[in-house]
Chains A and B, each alone.
Chain A
């Protein structure tokens, strides 16, 4: 019953936001996702050479849709090249049973059945320039071929980016679209992941955000960040936390810390802010981030924060 109530709340809140199709989204202010080739050093900012993202297509959407990838290749205008351009990234789209319900793909280091589900499409991109600074489109997909997951708001699809060779960093973005050749939102759609690997802005005045959703059952959260390079502060803002500074990592290692969830934070999103040090001016910084609840279960971040961008409730009191 509690779970059903929770689902109802999420669905009703998701219905208010139909613009979570871009990954990363505008609200996240993250320039690119990043995935390194399997021969890359982890100190460059990717712990596992995997980036797994999930898309949600609401059941009321019955028409075909597409998953588009911007700049899927390595080299050219974007990407982090290490020596020669030598990296191949394989993008694979999954649907069907086990796509997200199998917890293997949610973990910090996905292993075993993380590819579980029905393989719908797959394509590898190397150093060719065909899609450099351009969009490649997977699909069309039938929404019903996703995994039916009401707790996530509809049919869920999974796209796995895997650095199968080389050592370069592939910078890319996604879009969930109803059109093959344009980015047009799937109304009510969203995207989420359990571990974010992303590139930070070089501009020290830019702050990136990710928005984990706190379900009703969560009482405490352990955050983990990798290879932050001590580039400023990672801070949490929510309805009840005006700016909790989280333990942050240096170069090539994980840092973790635990914080409690207040009652008023449940069934709402939190805002994890990545605030660069304005004096260090570190460029090409990549970071990996995930959250687990008190049971060790990985928690989703939504591109469109459910319930809107969380804000601390400043109030004026009189005494």
Chain B
């Protein structure tokens, strides 16, 4: 494990150093690159042959501006230091998160043009070098500080924020996913990962269902290990919504001899419609009064009124949708963003495909076939759980 150690400051010793820990012993990490600069969060790529580390940019500057520095692992040591070209003494560029192939670099910076405080940016390594950093947008960034990005093996970007709702105190950990050309609104990790103290610096492997994060919940910062347990609760039934019925005049001559009549519909929710048939969608499960006024076009007046009470039953359907992902990756994406579960607003999702666990509202699966069966657990803000046992036919293309 590689981690960042915060020192009690003594004389000219650096405030922050990177350490490596093996069982109960810790020692300096990569002494060949250590200096009297502050050194902080680090990221590795290309089977750990590339490293990006946060450091002070000035030799004798304690905690002034920081920048990113890249190294290569050559002949058993870290060499060839290259400063990230967008380091700048007027602002900080910090907290690197490299993609596995080392061609994408996510980082946090308070550079001008952001949403406020530190935002998370992305730069790509192309033939002629790193591209201009791109702000990840308001799905990730807020008016406050977004720090400590981490790119997990299932493509999710985890980060810490002190301002995104529903923040429960200090820094909380969130994740977002790139979906339909946008970073979707970040989702906060549930309790007990997030606490009223600072929670940040997450590392998580979905393949191993194992992660670590830092938290100050016990007076000072400590590293915590985490895994995601699939809930052991009773399965919820899936029942489809009938909240979009079609009302129609159903008398003996239903649908015939309509030309001399006007059918005027109103609903107790304030909506109205003129026509023989009314396809009406209700926003929530409830009982509604439906009124039909029949106007005689020949007599030029209303001739009858009929009323009806309709109960829109609740639905409990995660409304899964799938589509082919990037053709190169041949992935399937399941989307529960447009769920159809009444009185339940999921803030977190855990999927179980066989023994393989995934988190998030969007999951990418290898191959071009849907799983025959799987489980989905949804959590809301209050920690309530809905657990669905699903089959291939529950997914709509």
Contacts and interface: CB of A to CB of B under 8 A. Distances in A.
Interface string A220-256: 0000000000001101000111111100000000000
Contact of A244 (B248, B257, B300): B257
Contacts of B254: 317
B318 to A, nearest CB: 26
A236 B152 CA distance: 75
Is chain B's binding surface mostly helix, strand, loop or mixed? strand
B247 A316 contact: yes
B247 A275 contact: no
Interface in B306-328: 306-308, 310
Nearest to B309: A316
Contacts of B247: 316-318
B260 to A, nearest CB: 6
Interface residues of A, number: 24
B189 interface: no
Contacts of B308: 316, 318
Contacts of B257: 241-244
A241 B253 contact: yes
A313 interface: yes
Contacts of B252: 239-241, 262, 264, 312-313
Nearest to A278: B300
Interface string B235-276: 000000000011111111110010011000000000000000
Contacts of A232: 298
Contacts of A295: none
Contacts of A315: 249-251, 306
B296 interface: yes
B129 to A, nearest CB: 63
A59 B329 CA distance: 94
A60 interface: no
A41 to B, nearest CB: 30
Contacts of B294: 314
A278 B300 CA distance: 10
Nearest to A243: B260
Contacts of B307: 316
Nearest to A313: B251
A245 B299 CA distance: 13
Contacts of B296: 243
B283 interface: no
A3 interface: no
A314 B246 contact: no
B202 interface: no
A207 interface: yes
B249 A240 contact: no
Interface in A260-285: 262, 264, 275, 278
Contacts of A245: 260
B251 A318 contact: no
B251 A314 contact: yes
A123 interface: no
B300 A319 contact: no
A63 interface: no
Between B250, B300, B310, the greatest number of chain A beta carbons within 10 A of the residue's beta carbon is seen for: B250
B290 interface: yes
Contacts of A278: 300
A312 B250 CA distance: 11
Given A311-B304, A316-B247, A316-B248, 12 more contacts: A240-B252, A314-B294, A315-B249, A315-B251, A316-B249, A316-B250, A316-B290, A316-B306, A316-B307, A317-B247, A317-B250, A318-B245
Interface of B: 245-254, 257, 260-261, 290, 292, 294, 296, 298-300, 304, 306-308, 310
18 contacts: A233-B298, A235-B298, A241-B252, A241-B257, A242-B253, A243-B260, A243-B261, A243-B296, A275-B299, A314-B251, A314-B306, A315-B251, A315-B306, A317-B247, A317-B250, A317-B254, A318-B248, A319-B248
The 3 A-B pairs at the shortest CB distance, nearest first, are namely A317-B250, A240-B252, A316-B308
